[in-house]
Amino acid sequence: MRTTRDIKILFGISVQLFLLALPIIKTVDFMQNDDWVYYRTTADFMRGVIKLDPYIGPTFYLQGFMGAVWGYFFTLQTLPILTLVFTILNFYIFSVILVKFFNQNWLTATIISSIYAFNPLNVYTAIGYMTTQYFMFFLLLSILTFLQFEKTQKNIYLFLTLFSSFLGLLIRQVSLAIPLSIFIYFSLKKDYKKALISFISFIGFAFIYNFFIPLTPRIREVGLQLHHFDEIKYTYSLIYGILIILSAFLMPFIISIFIERTQLKEFVIKKKKSVIFVVVAVLLFIVLNKFFMPQEISWGEFPYFENTFERTGFYPRGVSGTKYHFMGSYDLFRFWDLAAKIAVSILLSYILIFKRIFINFHFIFIIVYLLIMVTVETFYDRYILILIPFAILYLLSIQKTEFNLWQMLVKILFGFFLIFLSYQFAMDFVLVNKYIWSKAKEISKSANIPENKILATNAWKLNYLNDTRDYTYNFSYDSQVVNETYRCCYYLVEVNEIYYPLNIFVNPKIYLYQLRSITSIIDEQTE
């Protein structure tokens, strides 16, 4: 059977991807972003202390247990490899979904899944011990089992969908969006029995979450920020900003709609409708961008949201100073931004004019998730990753399944672009953090000073708190030429240049400084 054969081939490809990425992931011996607190909590779990660190925002429990079991056999230092395992499993599950339910063969499924897998947000969250890949596993399982339920109408698959969403809830609260979306979906289909089952599951999961799962003060205090709906500029800019980023990452799927043979014929035959489509697209582009205020949501420039995927790489604000850039980065992101905005306008016009408003589970989840994201205290760009599989499946569902060489070519070229960009950002990020963490540990040991006297990365700073901020050593992207404070008050100890094959960054250097004594500064100024 072709499907079984394709799934076996996809498993082999997944194993090869794992082996290809393993040498890089094995070098990850540092903590980054928030994963320092996940390491700490998992270590507590291994000691039998089943309690979340007060800093933790996600529910995390299931990831903590899985990490503790892994750490028992392979040590906590190898947790990034466990994250890689889940990352590859996510690629495999998504590929299987494409083969089983979207009439793709192993080759086209690999191409499409690669656009998801090598998305910069996905690659970033695959490094270290963040919660995203673990949650995505249960989210994708929910999609797989729900589509199987839709296909077979066997209740066991609906149960597995809801069970997977509950397991996801034990990692991230946003998993509640799954039963809620299923409830809305069945309600719109007027299948009230299944809607009732989904609604009861949603209420039950929410009840368990609020009253039975021990939550941190941070989770309790933050809650849903419903007042954001009163802030029209913020709400609109957030939702439109997310759509821009989605279209930027899924550009080939939008382009594919318009190079579909049957759609091209429709454009030619229905000339009047085609003219209206163009006019509406232009008007949408003007209106949507007139009211878009990116400064309301975070940065005023594409890719807009903090804090992991930026123009200069992955999580550049995790180290002091202004990070180096790569040649052509300004033009790349400027045109990518413009193309994404045009794509949003064209897609919305197409859906409206050609009546391709196809309401399915993927569409419902996207809407529900967007509304939930309005209520979060701070929106981070990595939250968009959850929408990417749903957006891909929705865009595939409104297209014909006919094979088109040009469509595949567009996807392949865009996939190579994402692979190259993610490779650059990932290698740079790993080598920067690896150097800083190893050097900071070396200094602490050789100079016999506490770790909290060294200002390394943000994760280091949070792991080794220094309330007085009296740092002796400081790592920075800034040279003494551009930073007067370092020129005045610090000795330059070392300059480390980041090197890896095909590095496109300009002058990729990290500077290590040591604070000068007050007397030496005064003596120099009096000379």
Asked if residue 389 has a cis previous peptide bond (ω within 30° of 0), the answer is no
- pLDDT tens digits along 306-322: 889 999 999 999 999 99
Cα gap 138→132, rounded to integer Å: 10
* Long-range contacts of residues 413-422, Cβ cutoff 8 Å, at least 24 apart: 413/252, 414/115, 414/251, 414/252, 415/111, 415/114, 415/115, 415/118, 415/252, 418/114, 418/115, 418/118, 418/119, 418/120, 418/249, 419/114, 419/118, 421/120, 422/118, 422/119, 422/120, 422/123
Half-sphere exposure of 353 (CA within 13 A, CB side): 22
For residue 1, what pLDDT is reported? 65
The pLDDT score that the predictor gives to residue 234 is: 94
pLDDT tens digits in sequence order for the chain, 527 residues long? 678 999 999 999 999 999 999 999 999 999 999 999 999 999 999 999 999 999 999 999 999 999 999 999 999 999 999 999 999 999 999 999 999 999 999 999 999 999 999 999 999 999 999 999 999 999 999 999 999 999 999 999 999 999 999 999 999 999 999 999 999 999 999 999 999 999 999 999 999 999 999 999 888 888 888 899 999 999 999 999 999 999 999 999 999 888 877 777 777 777 888 899 999 999 999 999 999 999 988 888 999 998 899 999 999 999 999 999 999 999 999 999 999 999 999 999 998 887 666 788 999 999 999 999 999 998 999 999 999 999 999 999 988 766 678 889 999 999 999 999 999 999 999 999 999 999 999 999 999 999 999 999 999 999 999 999 999 999 999 999 999 999 999 999 999 999 999 999 999 999 999 999 754 555 555 55
